[in-house]
């Protein structure tokens, strides 16, 4: 059950970091430069971090007997 949260969380972390770095001009891009993309990237990154934390706190499934 943890992977249901962690995998999408990691994908959002990568996308958010990419957007933020492109907005800051660290990664090459054509149109995604400016503070708007930095904020969008940070929001996406934090959403992914929330999913990661939810997955880390999730209890493992009960074994079937």
For the chain, give the percent of residues with pLDDT over 90. Answer: 66
Residue extents of the structural domains in the chain:
2-57
Which pTM was predicted?
A: 0.85
Nearest of 63, 65, 64, 47 to residue 55 by alpha carbon:
47
Distance CA 15, CA 32 (A): 13
Q: What is the mean pLDDT of residues 30-46?
A: 94
Please write the tens of the pLDDT for every residue from 6-29.
Answer: 999 999 999 999 999 999 999 988
Helix axis angle for 35-57 and 2-23, nearest 10°, is 160
Distance CA 42, CA 44 (A): 5
């Amino acid at each position: 059950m943890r992977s249901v949260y962690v995998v999408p969380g990691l994908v959002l972390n990568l996308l958010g970091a990419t957007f933020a770095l492109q907005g800051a001009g660290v990664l090459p891009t054509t149109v995604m430069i400016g503070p708007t993309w930095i904020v969008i990237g940070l929001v996406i990154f934090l959403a992914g971090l929330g999913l990661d934390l939810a997955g880390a706190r999730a209890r493992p499934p009960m074994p079937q007997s």
